[in-house]
Chains A and B, each alone.
Chain A
Amino acid sequence: DGGITQSPKYLFRKEGQNVTLSCEQNLNHDAMYWYRQDPGQGLRLIYYSQIVNDFQKGDIAEGYSVSREKKESFPLTVTSAQKNPTAFYLCASQDGDTGELFFGEGSRLTVL
């Protein structure tokens, strides 16, 4: 089936550790996004990529890093520099013709 796959679904991390969240899509979309969602809040843009080997910072990029080496993959690393990393992380790819975002099921990160 076509779609966006995020893993892991749940992740626990100790303070000071880096963690990488995986996002894979088989929709052949050029654009991919990472958003952060805190309880009862909207989606805040972390990083986005319009094409392979290129990405831009969103509104809350500090403490995060990404790579876009393949069209299908857009992993997000939450580094120890991120002061408050506990959140729900959503990855999406975008249909270039309609603008519609297709989301993965999300990764819930908890820092212990």
Chain B
Amino acid sequence: GQSLEQPSEVTAVEGAIVQINCTYQTSGFYGLSWYQQHDGGAPTFLSYNALDGLEETGRFSSFLSRSDSYGYLLLQELQMKDSASYFCAVALNTGGFKTIFGAGTRLFVKA
């Protein structure tokens, strides 16, 4: 079957750096995405990696290693508003394209 693993919770202080890891076991892997979701809201797109390496977008960076079936989201200069759930998602091509999500990591940012 297809599975994604990420930590359930992470706590960090304002201004710090936090890394959220994601490992996956899938067939037909195409790319890895990250989404942010605040309580009661809809997920919003943060980043996408199709190739190995680091993608940087402002305070957020995302990394992918296809050989290790591993990726991470790096959040720098943490702000209180970054308190949210973060989901890794894999795009799969299994005779048709689809996207499945991990269970999510709840990030708590403390003052």
A interface, CB within 8 angstroms of B: 31, 33, 35, 40-45, 48, 50, 56, 58-59, 90, 94, 98-106
Contacts and interface: CB of A to CB of B under 8 A. Distances in A.
Interface stretch (B62-70, B72-80, B94-102): B94-102
Contacts, number: 58
Closest 4 CB pairs of A and B: A42-B103, A103-B42, A43-B101, A100-B45
A43 to B, nearest CB: 4
A31 B48 contact: no
Interface residues of A, dominant DSSP: strand
Query: B interface, how many residues as a size bin?
Result: 20 to 34
Interface string B46-84: 001010000000000000000000000000000000000
B72 to A, nearest CB: 17
A49 to B, nearest CB: 10
Contacts of B99: 33, 45, 94, 99, 101
B98 A56 contact: yes
B43 interface: yes
B107 interface: no
28 contacts: A35-B101, A40-B106, A41-B104, A42-B102, A42-B103, A42-B104, A43-B43, A43-B87, A43-B101, A44-B101, A45-B98, A45-B99, A45-B101, A48-B98, A50-B96, A50-B97, A56-B96, A58-B98, A58-B100, A59-B100, A99-B31, A100-B48, A101-B45, A101-B89, A104-B42, A105-B41, A105-B42, A106-B42
A98 B47 CA distance: 10
A105 B44 CA distance: 11
Nearest to A50: B96
Contacts of A58: 98, 100
Contacts of A100: 33, 45, 48
B44 A103 contact: yes
B110 to A, nearest CB: 20
A99 B33 CA distance: 9
Contacts of B50: 99
